[in-house]
Structure 1
């Protein structure tokens, strides 16, 4: 379960963010905070995985509040002011959403935050002896499916779509492979062809210009051979 906090002085912002989160599985709102001091008081006694943080608030500004936290959770900034983006990334925020933002952009931000920190409890038969796993939300066939990143074997470009091949299923999303890779852990996936990126841990063998993963054979593109060389060093 991903526990989150909304910190914003506008009621409509709370409604929009909660409405988007309600479309996703395993997202639990812990508290609506309408200024940073209220959030600071809550975090002194409670823990969350993710904060949706506005910047221009009374009493204490968003980044000033963030600097007071000794060990902050992942933060997605939600603001109408783009000029503070650089400062935000210097504070190691997960993403910077400019109001008004749509659901697709919101989902991408949540994926970035969730794939790097949040954990969901899973049956051991899904992920072996490890009972926690990083996940990503994939949009396909008008629904959002939470997928354990560890089960993804490779992804394949198909025009404006991308196929995500896991150990149990294939999910086709309306997203370019380059955009999807941005939402996935960079040290986990390796692009080996303009149309293919593979999960290193699922590579069975490498022979010539081919990679074997399970029962599938993935081609290695000429421009990506250096990636393989680096991998084998």
Structure 2
């Protein structure tokens, strides 16, 4: 199965280390980072599926942090305090683990997370993703699976589709259209290009070769993110 990418947040070093070790024992979990404070997380939630989150921490509590996330991933609270259980229920967290956390109880929580993760993956596969763009004075429905690559032209983008020689030209920028696309299926590889990961035939350090023969340059600042997504395919 596809691994559940997770991070751990806890201000107690020993607790964070124990939690990291427990995560490492589970084959379907992949620890992408551990943090002593939610403040340090910043932009590290991209492509994260699960957060192990302590509650009582200096500067900002886990509850406050979670309430302020616009589209939070799955969350398992890890805390020494039982009185926040109702908050966890209100915030729809996966589970509520009390420290010290028995490994068997930890496994029970992550198994619940795996069931939900697999259910979401199945639902995503059944539902075809699409976006609606305005072009040539009309609204056009574009299925993401039909997109080969996208080229940015300042305030416009060209969307290149399968079996359609003429691209769709619409008034958007690359950042804006990338936010509308499934993050695991597309990667921005250059200041001027987004590619569909399923359309990649081969790649070198500086170039990607698509199945239709198109050659796309890869910018140095996008290399790391691109390689991370390649590993997930």
Provide TM-score, normalisation by structure 2.
0.49
TM-score for the superposition, normalised by structure 1: 0.49
